[in-house]
Structure 1
Amino acid sequence: MRTITDDNGYYSINLEDSKNHVLITNSYNTVSAVRDIPDGEQDYRLDIQLSYKSLSLPEVDITGAQPQSYNSDIAFSATRMEIPVLEIPGSVGIVTRKLIEDQQATTMTEVVRNLGGVKGGASGEAGNINEVFSSRGFSMTNSRNYFRNGVRYLKFSNDALSSIERIEILKGPASVLYGAVEPGGIINFITKPTLYTPRYGASIRYGSYDYKQAAIDLTGPINTKKTIRYRLNAMYEDADKFRKPQNSKRYDITPTIDIDLGRKTTLNLDADIFRDKRTHDPGVLHINNEIIDHGFKTFLGEPWAYGKFTNTSFGYELKHRFNKDWTFRSSARQYFTHEDRLYFQMKTPQKDSTITRRLAHWDAKINYLNLIEEISGNFTTGFIKHKAIAGVEFGRLTNRRKVKGNMYTPINYVNPVYSEKPTDFEMEQSTDLYITQNTGAIYLQDQLSFTDQLKLLIGARADWVNDKQDNYIKETKSDEKNFAISPRVGAVYMPIPSLSLYLSYSQSFVPQSGQTKDGKAFDPIRSKQWEAGIKKSFFNDRLTSSLAFYKLSKTNLPTTDPEDEEFKILIGEQTSKGIELAVSGEITPSWSVAFNYAYTHAEVTETNDKNYPVGTKLANISPSQLNLWTSYLVRGGVVKGLSFGGGWYYQGKSYGNMAQTIELDSYHIFDCFVAYKRSFYKISANLKNVFNQEYYTGSQGNNLLFPGTARTLMVMLAVNF
């Protein structure tokens, strides 16, 4: 049953039966609201206050209910504007809170399996201390490709998910809106918003290997007029690992306050206090293309080696609506980050079943300030309708980094014996840097609607990047200045409202240091992508699907100068081509599904490097990746509130290095879950990696592989009032 409001926003619905009902209020430029109407009520009245959509709000404001869908019809990361997914000329992946909760995902590596063509795992030298990701064949670097509510986020750790409402990825080059980024795409963490109706939640989790987690989620108005609202998310986690003896501890506290300064102006204040400390795991030893005996569970580090990451950030966002068409947004965010690692660099396996290793200490203190001022709105020129956004962005980053180390006692990789933490171990300073980066940008984007069926998205961004570095060991200084203009254009044709066809072209850049033999500074690494696709929604937009074809190339890569091997020339090129298929949402109101498949062909396409000639496959990139997750919710009867389901994740074979001397086998992971939810509580149990598959997410160098997680049981009890 449907109805629309009158000019004053009032409406009524006559319900002829006595069943429970769910009222969904939709508006194009506001957050949808979901409210329960209990049975047996007569003349039931609801006062619903809708919030305007922004980068920091979810697609649905739910009070008295949990998130209901794996599907989202709006993806702010793609355009920074309220444009439906079907009208976006590009690939956008979204993982909703509902999907995160059903899977009981506790790491980003688990989450990104739901984003076709995206792969997660441990980092190289840092091992399990940090998660890294790749998309469409290219790595996503820690300092460039991650954002939090549209603001650049320096990702150097295993992030907590307790305050996350959903996760979005814009695939392919994204410099037009986000500046210097690697070409695979950007990942945007959208945090939970404040709500107008009080809601109080808490959860506890317990799992295999003594996993323990407790979390709270509190939100609601502070004053009677509801012009001041808050949200507080807090989480603490303590866990051992299947590769004993290892442990990790982390906590995350994220307070948020929204203040309505008037009917058209809202100020958001928020902070994030995060700490993660875990035992450093250098990985699994791999010799002559074979895993050492019992290597999957054999820990070759030391129990006292660690990675500790602390991050404190705070910021504001001020939004002012001039009228129904035009909005101004101002934001600023300050990060204080400390990366402290005492870790092992594994060196050379020996004939006596030992491996040499170097103990190192990494200490980096990073401060980052980001400022964004932008205006967006709707206007018409003749018969053409416009949705435009224009903005300026400034950033300043400082990084004081020191690294020292020395060779340490070898460890036996057959029967490792761990040592006591040394108290007087001398280390030699190998790195002592002070890095500053100042950035400035101006950008403009416009969606032109010639008709309801034909739309054109055009945009461009100009970036200025100034990188300075003081090297206190070599007693040298560098000052690199880069400038780049990044265009984007895309066309969408919608023959019917539920079907769209699109074609797009976009570019990205990444500054690089160094100079040619003639003393000319290196130009930025450039990336360009052509993409074509089709999107279709079904069942009144409950289920959406997309099919994309792309060709993505990365040029200006440095290779050896044939006239002088001590220098480089910029003729290198790597290319990724692929197909991606995704389906997500509800087949029926009870049956939900999230499916994706990606085929990726990534290789070297131009070089003069004899070690990695043209045709060399890129490292840690599997040609085939598939993920299917489905769940069913019982909505009536004696087991009303029961849900169950599971998933299958497949990763094809890949090479662990560019030399192609390490082969990573394909693997399958099966998960399942069952949950029971009543009015104020929910109990769920998830079994991950049901068949205890031994698998590896990536590799480092010629001898180390990073293991995936063994079979894990996770049980959760959550209460909501």
Structure 2
Amino acid sequence: MSHRLQRLVLTTGIVWGLMIHTARAQEGQTPTPIQNISQSSVPNAQLQIQVTGVKVNPTDKGVEVILQTSQGEQLQITNRSAENNFIADIPNAQLRLLSGNAFTFSSQNPVEGITEIKVTNFDANTIRVTVTGKTGLPTVELFDTDEGLILGFIPAATAMQNPTPPTAPLPLPRGGEGEGLEEPSAQQDEPIELVVTGEQDTYTVIDATTATRTNTPLRDIPQSIQVVPEQVLQDQKVIRLDEAVRNVSGVVPDGSFANTRDGFNIRGFSGFFRNILQDGFGITNVGGFNETANLERVEVLKGPASVLYGNLEPGGVINLVTKKPLFEPFYSAEVEIGNYSFYRGALDISDPLNPDKTLRYRLNTVYQNSGSFRDFDQRIQRTFITPVVSWQIGKQTDLTLGFSYLNDERPFDRGLIAIGNGVADIPYHRLLGEPDDVIRLEEVNANYQLEHRFNENWKLRNAFRFLSTDTFDYRAEPVILDEETGELQRNFRSNDDIAKRYGMQTDLTGKFKTGFVEHTLLFGVDLSRTTFEGTQKRLPAGLTPSINIFNPVYNQIPRPNLSELTNVVRDNNNSTNLLGIFLQDQMALTNNLKLVVGGRFDIVDQESKNNLSNTTSNQYDEAFTPRVGMVYQPIQEISLYASYSQSFQPNFATRFDGSFLEPERGQQYEVGIRGEFLNSKLVTNIAAYEITKSNVATTDLANPGFSVAVGEQRSRGIEFDVAGEILPGWNIIASYAYTDAKVTKSNAGLEGNRLSNVPYNAASLWTTYEIQTGNLQGLGFGVGVFFVGEREGDLENTFQVPSYVRTDASIFFRTDNWRAALNFKNLFDVQYIRTTDSFRSAIIPGEPFTVIGTVAVEF
């Protein structure tokens, strides 16, 4: 803090020191109001505090507003109240809601006697809290808890009926001599120091946008959604997305196109790369691994999400929420070094571009160069850069511009192969292709988001994203294995593909009231166009040398030139145009009973041109997908919910007459219990569900080679997730899932088969402890155990993948502006299978024991 402000505070003589209180740290207790007054140093006004959440809870006397801060820093309050409006400015803070709306929070008529609560960024350096009383100025009490700063408000009428509250509040400037507040003069600017002593709550996220595309607390959402926050990504040293989502129940790795892309199975259903979103936009399905260095958090919405995002598999979606520009200068550099010649460096820079901080930027860059435990000559080389600029055009309008570029080169690796009903007994490092098999990716992403707030209740958001991916691979593809001799036939082949996606989203969100029912209405229109063009060329049959999987000999012939791959088996141009219109209403019937109703109408127009046969196929689908759910909260900490939702996905199989099958449809029934304990520091979720996917393509028995839409698949399961802080410094994130996913109808003899890559049981546990005081303060330890049960390797259930238990550990040290860590992955060097591509010659082994050392500095 500047000497000028220090003199001002000392001159006024109003410096309030707050004692540390933990009264509300135990479930069911009422927070103790701040009463002790002492003189202390004034906080540094240049250190901007981020308030990451705002909660409004009714109390027996009125309502409380919780300003959640994860920094544990000092806050100031300047009282500017006038007439019926309690107004408090916090000049060294900014509202950075994790739900995505960084600038404002409002609640209409939360309790009788209070007409509005509004928390907003008044300017680039100040949060303003405004509470409007119906008949007069509300009385305020201040409380200090581990969760943050709590402002308890008593409506004017209630305060008159009970002039002596049960507990004595902390008086604000110009306050009365007794409990409560007199009406202050709006001319007074008397700062008070409030020392908020709450611990960091970095493993818990209590709101997200993926489930409703609005700012909704997770406790009010009637569907299972889990969040992996940035602190978990840092503590586990997450480099690939599958390392993040393994912390979430019901999510396992799935087909990865030879370990070159992110692919996931959610609640038993494979997304084929299409169940991944970035900031709410779908990602083209030919991309590589998603970068994790620029992620703020990962949100996993389980169950059908078509009502908000269109044509998707019914298992769920993974939304990658990227980092945004900050209001204060931030500079971070990180270097990572590990075995297998692993080197990775990252920069994260953010700074305002003008004095009033309405124009800000952020830049994330990554470079990685590493080898592999597999016997490749190729190395992984990866370069990523993403600049983002945010412009606060006015108090009501914001514009964010983003761009990213990714260049990635790595081995193309089909992995191991099956023999009999299991995995071949060969070393896990052995290649069955050639050492110089390779895949290259170049990706460009440009986007913007424009948001305008008409008033406290209505806002309009428009966003656009362009994504282009160019991929090329060249490899010796395993084809047919002689299981008696171990001789594996192969074929040199190459794919060369370009995909482009143009997407636009427009949402109108409004809050209003009809009678006693409060509404949050969302109306939106989505437009997208995706184009894909590509070829696959192969070396003519019989020219590629085979290899013996037990005694391989590589490079038996020089790799053929691309011009020698004269057998063209694919040359196509595809396009998909999508229009989606949706409407959603979130209704608060009472303070503890919420109803969500939504529906979406989609039109999908697809065209596929086969340049080899010079033929064109068209597909036109229309679909309506609803969702309805209810949440009941018998007590503040518990939410009971039930929901029904549907999904749809175009079907690419054809009938005997050449027409496409009707779209696949999914429907889910789900019930669950969500709990938020220890002042929402510890969050739990238990869910039970049943998903049925119908219109699945299966063999037309009357016309072999064609399909009919009579297939059906069903998944039933129970899931449990827990995340948060158990005690100061002790964090945990854990999960368990039981998933029974099988074919229930089929013409191809598959009825009763389990779906591939889906274990009956899977569980995870990761916990860290950081020493809080003393000479070793900042030293921490982490340990994690990850279990995946036995899985079927393909839909025909011809082979099984064994279960495994993998153990990770870490040791780290954090001080003022730097941190160092050692992360040990697969600590006991267990051999395990990460996933399969759902056929016998594509079994992806997991990495053996790996150690990564990290040094990072922030300034």
Change (3 A) 1:607 1:276: same
Change (3 A) 1:626 1:51: closer
Q: What SS does the corresponding residue of 1:104 show, helix, strand or coil?
A: coil
Structure-1 separation of matches of 2:589 and 2:362: 42
Q: Contact 2:684–2:720 at 8 Å: present in 1 too?
A: yes
Q: What SS does the corresponding residue of 2:634 show, helix, strand or coil?
A: strand
User: Which residue matches 1:583?
Assistant: 722
Question: Residue 472 of structure 1: CA displacement?
Answer: 0.7
User: Which residue matches 1:114?
Assistant: 247
Q: Identify which of 83, 95, 99 aligns with 2:216.
A: 83
Q: Identify which of 570, 577, 590 aligns with 1:438.
A: 577
Structure-2 separation of matches of 1:59 and 1:131: 35
Q: What SS does the corresponding residue of 2:203 show, helix, strand or coil?
A: coil
Q: Contact 1:57–1:191 at 8 Å: present in 2 too?
A: no
Q: Contact 1:230–1:256 at 8 Å: present in 2 too?
A: yes
User: Given the alignment of the two structures, is residue 149 of structure 1 paired with residue 176 of structure 2, yes or no?
Assistant: no
Structure-2 separation of matches of 1:12 and 1:480: 71
Q: Deviations over 1:240-299 (max 9, x none)?
A: 001122421111101000001111101100001112110111211332235444431112
Question: Residue 409 of structure 1: CA displacement?
Answer: 1.4
Identity of aligned residues (%): 33
Q: Letter of the aligned partner of 1:154 in structure 2? A: T
Structure-2 separation of matches of 1:12 and 1:620: 62
Question: What CA RMSD, in Å, does the superposition of the two structures yield over aligned residues?
Answer: 2.6
Q: Letter of the aligned partner of 1:714 in structure 2? A: I
After superposing the two structures, state which structure 1 stretch, 702-711 or 69-78, moved more.
Answer: 702-711
User: Given the alignment of the two structures, is residue 27 of structure 1 paired with residue 54 of structure 2, yes or no?
Assistant: yes
Q: Contact 2:452–2:460 at 8 Å: present in 1 too?
A: yes
Q: Identify which of 95, 109, 112 aligns with 1:50.
A: 95
User: Given the alignment of the two structures, is residue 369 of structure 1 paired with residue 506 of structure 2, yes or no?
Assistant: no
User: Given the alignment of the two structures, is residue 702 of structure 1 paired with residue 840 of structure 2, yes or no?
Assistant: yes
Q: Identify which of 495, 501, 518 aligns with 1:385.
A: 518
Structure-2 separation of matches of 1:688 and 1:72: 26
Change (3 A) 1:309 1:66: farther
Change (3 A) 1:490 1:227: same
Q: What SS does the corresponding residue of 1:193 show, helix, strand or coil?
A: coil
Q: Letter of the aligned partner of 2:830 in structure 1? A: Q
Question: Residue 141 of structure 1: CA displacement?
Answer: 2.2
Q: Letter of the aligned partner of 1:648 in structure 2? A: V
Q: Letter of the aligned partner of 1:179 in structure 2? A: G
Structure-1 separation of matches of 2:102 and 2:264: 25
Structure-1 separation of matches of 2:747 and 2:261: 33
Q: Contact 1:629–1:646 at 8 Å: present in 2 too?
A: yes
Q: Letter of the aligned partner of 1:27 in structure 2? A: V
Structure-1 separation of matches of 2:452 and 2:768: 40
Q: What SS does the corresponding residue of 1:114 show, helix, strand or coil?
A: coil
Q: Letter of the aligned partner of 1:256 in structure 2? A: V
Q: Deviations over 1:27-73 (max 9, x none)?
A: 3599955555489xxxx995223256664869999x9x997511100
Can you give the 5+ residue segments of structure 2 that lack an aligned partner in the other structure?
A: 1-13, 20-37, 57-65, 76-88, 106-120, 126-197
Q: Letter of the aligned partner of 1:220 in structure 2? A: D
Q: Letter of the aligned partner of 2:816 in structure 1? A: S
Q: Identify which of 790, 809, 813 aligns with 1:653.
A: 790
Structure-2 separation of matches of 1:491 and 1:331: 30
Q: Identify which of 151, 170, 173 aligns with 2:304.
A: 173
Structure-2 separation of matches of 1:666 and 1:20: 57
Q: Contact 1:254–1:272 at 8 Å: present in 2 too?
A: yes
Q: Deviations over 1:86-133 (max 9, x none)?
A: 11001001110000100001111211111111001552xx31112311
Q: Identify which of 659, 668, 684 aligns with 1:545.
A: 684
User: Which residue matches 1:676?
Assistant: 813
User: Given the alignment of the two structures, is residue 15 of structure 1 paired with residue 152 of structure 2, yes or no?
Assistant: no
Q: Letter of the aligned partner of 2:332 in structure 1? A: G
Q: Identify which of 363, 366, 371 aligns with 1:232.
A: 363
User: TM-score scaled by structure 2?
Assistant: 0.78
Question: Residue 153 of structure 1: CA displacement?
Answer: 1.6
Change (3 A) 1:506 1:35: same
User: Which residue matches 1:635?
Assistant: 772
Q: Deviations over 1:219-246 (max 9, x none)?
A: 1211101010000000000110011224
Q: Identify which of 440, 448, 451 aligns with 1:316.
A: 448
Greater gyration radius: 2
Structure-2 separation of matches of 1:387 and 1:309: 42
User: Which residue matches 1:405?
Assistant: 538
Q: What SS does the corresponding residue of 1:622 show, helix, strand or coil?
A: coil
Structure-1 separation of matches of 2:422 and 2:700: 36
Q: What SS does the corresponding residue of 1:583 show, helix, strand or coil?
A: strand
User: Which residue matches 1:219?
Assistant: 350
Question: Residue 425 of structure 1: CA displacement?
Answer: 3.3
Change (3 A) 1:676 1:326: same
Change (3 A) 1:509 1:390: same
Structure-to-structure mapping, 1:135-534, within 5 angstroms: 135-142=266-273, 144-155=274-285, 156-245=287-376, 246-350=378-482, 352-406=485-539, 407=541, 408-419=544-555, 420-423=558-561, 425-517=564-656, 521-534=660-673
Change (3 A) 1:36 1:594: closer
User: Given the alignment of the two structures, is residue 608 of structure 1 paired with residue 750 of structure 2, yes or no?
Assistant: no
Q: Contact 1:271–1:315 at 8 Å: present in 2 too?
A: yes
Structure-2 separation of matches of 1:560 and 1:315: 42
Structure-1 separation of matches of 2:551 and 2:101: 51
Q: What SS does the corresponding residue of 1:232 show, helix, strand or coil?
A: strand
Structure-1 separation of matches of 2:238 and 2:583: 37
Q: What SS does the corresponding residue of 1:360 show, helix, strand or coil?
A: strand
Change (3 A) 1:439 1:448: same
Q: What SS does the corresponding residue of 2:245 show, helix, strand or coil?
A: helix
User: Which residue matches 1:571?
Assistant: 710
After superposing the two structures, state which structure 1 stretch, 548-557 or 277-286, moved more.
Answer: 277-286
Change (3 A) 1:181 1:291: closer
Q: What SS does the corresponding residue of 1:131 show, helix, strand or coil?
A: coil
Structure-2 separation of matches of 1:133 and 1:70: 23
Structure-1 separation of matches of 2:200 and 2:619: 47
Q: Deviations over 1:324-356 (max 9, x none)?
A: 111110111111110111123211224554311
Q: Deviations over 1:449-491 (max 9, x none)?
A: 1101111000000000000011011221111100000000001
Change (3 A) 1:485 1:119: same
Structure-2 separation of matches of 1:261 and 1:678: 37
After superposing the two structures, state which structure 1 stretch, 512-521 or 525-534, moved more.
Answer: 512-521
Structure-2 separation of matches of 1:177 and 1:541: 27
User: Which residue matches 1:691?
Assistant: 828
Q: Contact 2:452–2:461 at 8 Å: present in 1 too?
A: yes
After superposing the two structures, state which structure 1 stretch, 244-253 or 636-645, moved more.
Answer: 244-253
Q: Letter of the aligned partner of 1:550 in structure 2? A: Y
Q: Contact 2:246–2:764 at 8 Å: present in 1 too?
A: yes
Q: Contact 2:495–2:535 at 8 Å: present in 1 too?
A: yes
Q: Letter of the aligned partner of 1:254 in structure 2? A: T
Q: What SS does the corresponding residue of 1:295 show, helix, strand or coil?
A: coil
User: Given the alignment of the two structures, is residue 556 of structure 1 paired with residue 695 of structure 2, yes or no?
Assistant: yes
Structure-1 separation of matches of 2:90 and 2:659: 71
Question: Residue 589 of structure 1: CA displacement?
Answer: 2.1
Q: Contact 2:284–2:500 at 8 Å: present in 1 too?
A: no
Structure-1 separation of matches of 2:422 and 2:739: 26
Q: Contact 2:732–2:768 at 8 Å: present in 1 too?
A: yes
Q: Deviations over 1:197-234 (max 9, x none)?
A: 11100000001101100000001211101010000000
Q: Contact 2:571–2:611 at 8 Å: present in 1 too?
A: yes
Structure-1 separation of matches of 2:741 and 2:603: 30
Can you give the 5+ residue segments of structure 1 that lack an aligned partner in the other structure?
A: 1-10
Structure-2 separation of matches of 1:185 and 1:414: 41
Q: What SS does the corresponding residue of 2:605 show, helix, strand or coil?
A: strand
Q: What SS does the corresponding residue of 2:827 show, helix, strand or coil?
A: coil
Q: Contact 1:68–1:98 at 8 Å: present in 2 too?
A: no
Q: Contact 2:254–2:265 at 8 Å: present in 1 too?
A: no
Change (3 A) 1:68 1:714: farther
Structure-2 separation of matches of 1:454 and 1:197: 40
